Amino acid sequence: MPDWEAELAKRYISEVEGVPKSPSPISNAVVCGNICHISGQLSVYDEGYRPGTAREEAQRAFDLVFLIAQAAGFKRSDIVYVDIAFTNLQRDLPEVNALCSELFDPYPARTIYEAAALPFGAKIKVQAIAQLD
């Protein structure tokens, strides 16, 4: 296999220390070349989903995203895109915006939207893409 093919090979990140195993048939992340696609994360712990305020749930989801990125060889500053689903966008966006302004510098591109429902009754779900320079 030529070197460039090895560099573009996919790596599947299935188990990450500190990240609870998903009951769904997914990888925590898939790395394709210098890009890492991180699956949606909720406020979950080893014992399961833990409800909280939107900020608390978002903080836990971002903590999991950062752990997964690190396990794949990426840093927080490598995150270039974040997708955040809310079950109540109007109520929860201000709290999550405040958190994001503390977590990122520079700010990644972002999509936000309201979902009718999230697994386990969660308020927030976060997924991300990271890219190495």
Read off the pTM.
Answer: 0.93
8 Å CB contact between 44 and 18: no
pLDDT band at 7 (very low <50, low <70, confident <90, very high): low
Q: CA dihedral in degrees (64, 14, 109, 41; nearest 10)?
A: -40
Question: What does the pLDDT look like over 32-63, one tens digit per residue?
Answer: 999 999 999 999 999 999 999 999 999 999 99
- Residue 56's alpha-carbon distances to 6, 34, 130, in angstroms, are 40, 30, 23
- Residue located via tokens 């503390």: 102
Q: Which three-class secondary structure state does DSSP give residue 83?
A: strand
* pLDDT at position 122: 97
Q: Can you tell me the distance from the alpha carbon of 1 to that of 15, in angstroms, rounded to the nearest whole number?
A: 27
Q: How many Cα neighbours within 13 Å face the side chain of 119?
A: 12
